Amino acid sequence: MNKRKFLRASLATSATSVALPALAQSNPSVRWRLASSFPKSLDTIYGGAEVLARRLAQITGGKFIISVHAAGELLPAFGVVDAIQAGTVECAHTASYYFVGKNKAFGFDTTLPFGLNQRQQNAWMYYGGGLKLVREFFQDFNIVSFPGGNTGVQMGGWFKKEIRSVADLKGLKMRIPGIGGEVMARLGVVPQQLPGG
């Protein structure tokens, strides 16, 4: 018996015999709230959560509905991890480098300063065992992580005056979260952890 032909025939039969609406009709309706760390004005980032919610509603025939809430609507931008742990919301859309104050390993779910670029980060997550490690870490916080895009490492900054030496960084206020903020603090910068937007 040819295993490939058998599998193809079985998959074709199961795909055609079980219609998606029939699956959706047999399952109960589920409604979740998603708290985002991002404002609606960051449409390329915030919009990703809206696309996910629309797609899930579509493929489940309206049985799985996620209402997406911008930062500040349900809770503060940096309150999403605590809210998931407490069961206040069912899911969140955030960048985990915001939470390195809880544990430095949160930085690995996003990107680290002077670390991997976005293509390398995705390769590590999906093909290098990174997702398995990240999920093992998140278990301690009662969170299951699903990568949802990748913006790359936090930018170095834009400044009103030219930076010519490390001495020019002393006392400079800069919006930079996570471990990047800690690196800059060691160079004399006063990091500001502000949500996106």
Q: Could you tell me the CATH number of the domain that includes residue 48?
A: 3.40.190.170
Q: Is residue 29 part of a domain?
A: yes
61: its two tokens: 């025939």
Q: Is residue 191 part of a domain?
A: no
Q: Is residue 20 part of a domain?
A: yes
State the pLDDT at residue 12.
Answer: 39
Q: Is residue 41 part of a domain?
A: yes
58: its two tokens: 């579509």
User: How would residue 23 be classed by pLDDT, with cut points 50, 70 and 90?
Assistant: low
Q: Tell me the CA distances in angstroms from 157 to 163, 169, 189, one per residue in order.
A: 10, 11, 11
Q: Is residue 34 part of a domain?
A: yes
- Per the structure, the complete domain to which residue 32 belongs is given by 13-94
Q: Is residue 71 part of a domain?
A: yes
Distance between CA atoms of 148 and 50, rounded to whole angstroms?
Answer: 12
Q: Is residue 25 part of a domain?
A: yes
* pTM of this structure: 0.76
Please check the confidence at residue 49 and state whether its pLDDT lies above 90: yes
Q: Is residue 111 part of a domain?
A: no
Check: CB of residue 156 under 8 Å from CB of residue 169. Answer: no
Express each pLDDT in 113-122 by its tens digit: 778 888 899 9
Distance between CA atoms of 14 and 16, rounded to whole angstroms?
Answer: 6
User: How would residue 57 be classed by pLDDT, with cut points 50, 70 and 90?
Assistant: very high
Q: What is the mean pLDDT of residues 30-48?
A: 93
Beta bridge partners of 69: 35
Distance between CA atoms of 95 and 78, rounded to whole angstroms?
Answer: 10
Q: What is the mean pLDDT of residues 86-104?
A: 92
Q: Total structural domains in the chain?
A: 1
State the pLDDT at residue 46.
Answer: 92
Express each pLDDT in 131-170 by its tens digit: 999 999 999 999 999 988 777 766 677 788 899 999 999 9
